[in-house]
Each structure stands twice: as structure tokens, then as C-alpha cells.
Structure 1
């Protein structure tokens, strides 16, 4: 037991101590140590996953900024063209700033420093504010976006709702078909936000993987179905 415990490192955190044959105090101690090792491993995996997620999210605006700057230095342009491109860079910097704030808040919540809030959230205004981020992509793919949300407040964590809605609609636009339709609706009876989209269907064998972060099937394998819906209870 001592030899096994001494050999556990970050790379072998999943190692478990062998349980004694007899269920005595030594057995209980070993089980307690194994439970502790399991919790430590879960904490380390969450930390690694968070780092991976943060890197993934931050790369997108950085890539957009780099691409815009590379275009700018290729040749001389009119002042209006520079102004347009620089405005785009500022928008990406603002997006990056928001991402960092969101990631910091998520880190605090996952670590238990803060808890999700239960506060009044003006959903209609929140969706309206997010629409400015989706507008260009929606127009490029010819997707129609309908929003049917009452103006009065709902309760929840504004930051979480903003992140969830932004990710759902972003993915619907990115992976949905052209000329598709996205509907964000409020179901008063269920007191929930219903999100329906023309989407790509996942065959049953892939369903266990859909909640894995960044899981993605081959685009060539995807087939369209009539609609897919998610419900967020507020």
C-alpha cells in the first residue's frame, strides 16, 4: 500500500490502492484513501478541461484579429477601409474581454467560490443584445431567426443564460443548413425557454457523446432532420 501510494503522480492519479481481503479498519482506511484519490483526480480533470475550453474560446477572436491585421498590411488602402477593419478588430477585442470575464466567473463557480445566481433576467433584452453577434452569420447563410419571448423578467443566472444561448445559436448557425430556421420561444406553461432549430441529426449510437465537450461528428456523415429542440428552465 505504501509503495503504491508513494508512486502516484499527476500522470497516474487514476491509480487505486488494492483493498484488503477482510473488511476491517485497514479496509475502511484504504477505501477512504481511494475515495480521496478519486476526488483529486476529478478536480484535476476539471482543471485540465477548463484550461482546454479557455484556450479554445480565446483562439477564435485572436484568429479573427490576426486575419484582419494580415489583410491590412498586404497593401495600402483608403482611410475608410482602415476604419472599417479597425472597427472589426475593436469588436473582437471587446468579445475577448467578455470571454475572459465569463471564463473567470465560470472558474469561480466551478471552484465553489461563488454560486449561480437566481436573479431577474430580461430575457428579451438579453437575446436582442446577443443578436448583434449573430446577425452577419445569419444573413450569410440565409437563416431566419425568430424570437418569441415576453418582455417581463425571468429568474436565473444572466451570465449562464447568455453563454448557453450564445453557444446554442452559434452552433446552430455554424452547423445548420442554409435557408434554415431557428426559433427561440418561451413556454409559459412549463416556464421554460424553448429553443428549436433546423439541425443536423445525430444517429442513436452517437447520443452518449453529445454532452462531451467539443465532440463533433464528421460533417460528411451528418444528415438533416426537420427540427431539434432544447429546453432551458428559468
Structure 2
């Protein structure tokens, strides 16, 4: 389910009766929403949330069970199809923000981790319990390790323990935690601020941020100089600086 308002495209995982479990149709819908966000200049930020009381409880268990009878190659294609969601989110030159209430588990936790910002209600829960079902958080492990580091990532992936929102924030899985009572008001303010920001500045920020992964210090400084130089030539930079100087 997709809605656009005030520069924010909100994609809602809409299977509340299944705790918004991810099936093939949902993956297709997410890819379509991300493509729409990319092509629509009026969209400045993407928000991802779940319908009902949970963000997402992971992959659809019936589809997973059916995959046990498929070939390795068939399952690889299905896994890559899900992986494409993370590649699209990372490549989108606009911020993608997870709004997490309730449970974000397994692939659902991966969806949240794949976003650029994760805003969580205090009662939200996060975890990668795949090992408890004889499965592996394989696709999302890249995101997990980069977000929280080697030792913490292995702990979460190997034990499947579930974290409270404050615990997840302390470990680096969550950007901000808000009280349940004013969650909607707080996240709306963050989304409004992002939508009002310079689109070119946000795009350059996101691009540089992820390009720095694994880069040598010297190369990172050079990349920063390149981005700095380009940002000075954008219309947004000129307009914002002129407006500031007139104050």
C-alpha cells in the first residue's frame, strides 16, 4: 500500500493478519514503490512501515516451507529477488526511513536495517531468530554486520535473541527511539524535515556515505573534496546560501 503526501512516499507492509510477513507479492510491491520513488521528483523521502501492530515478522513461513521442495537454483533466484529490495534502497538517491512499531524480526528486521534511518517506538522489538527455525539470516547479514560490527552481529545472528528498542539503539541498529504515546508526531516531524531539505544535498550525502565503506582514509578525504566541489555548483546550494546571507 503506497501513499504520497508532502513529499513523503509511505510504503505500508499490508498483511496485518500475517504480521506483515514478506511473500513474493510484497517483494514485488516494494520494488515497484522504490521505482516510483526514484522516478517521481515530487517524492523527497520514503517511509516504510507495517500495518497493524507489527512492522514485519519476517518471511512468509508457508512460502519458506514450499521452498524446501525446490532446487537450489530456484531458491537462489527467489533469494536474489528479495536481495534486490536492499540494492534498490541503497541505490535510491533519497532517504529511506523505517518506522518501526511492534516486532521487526528476521527478514523484517533486515528490512528495517536496510533503511537509512530507523525510527522506533519504545515498545518495538528487533531480532534475527532465523537459527531457531533451522534457517540463516543470510541476505541481511551483510547489513547487520556493517551496522553493529562483527562481535555483536554474530551474537545476534547465532543466538537469535530479541532486543528491545533501547537495546537496539545502543547497539546501532536503531537511529532514534520515541515513546509510544508521541511516536507518530515525532516521526512525522523527522519526515517533514527530510522532505524540506535540499534534494541534491541529501542525494550527495547518501551517495558519499555508502561509498566510504571500506575506503582508505586518504581516499575518503579525496572523495569528500570531490563531493564538496560538486555540491557548491548546485542550484540548491546557491539559493540556500543567498537566503542565509540576506538574514
TM-score normalised to structure 2 length? 0.23
Q: Which has the larger radius of gyration?
A: 1
* Structure ranking higher on relative contact order (CA contacts 8 Å, 6+ apart): 2
